[in-house]
Amino acid sequence: MTGVSEGVTKVAGTAVEAMRSVPLAIALLLVNVGFLAFAAYVLGQVAENAQERNRTQSELVGTLVKQIAECSARNTKPQSLMFRNIGSKP
């Protein structure tokens, strides 16, 4: 593993030496590294949000399945939260 890190260090040093004469290349490299860091951050946030959404959806589906099982056991219609008293006589 030491040989690999020495090789990487040597290549990086050579690349920096070659780019010293071209400041625009260094600026482009820094912008690319910044963009990659930003993209990694955004993808991490998207993955975190997707994980939270999937957990919430799983809980909701579990609740729905439980309510359907309870209703079929009682042989009754499910109570809608949105249209609770529509169609029923007072």
Handedness of CA 59, 60, 65, 71 (dihedral sign): positive
Say how many domains are in the chain: 1
Asked if the structure places residue 84 within a domain, the reply is no
Quote the mean pLDDT of the chain.
Answer: 82
Which comes out higher in pLDDT, residue 78 or 24?
Answer: 24
In a domain, 49, yes or no: yes
Structural domain containing residue 63: 2-74
DSSP 18-85: HHTT-HHHHHHHHHHHHHHHHHHHHHHHHHHHHHHHHHHHHHHHHHHHHHHHHHHHHT-PPPPSSSTT
Identify whether 82 is part of a domain: no
Position 36 scores a pLDDT of: 96
User: pLDDT digit string (tens) for 28-55?
Assistant: 888 999 999 999 999 999 999 999 999 9
- Residue 6 has what pLDDT? 85
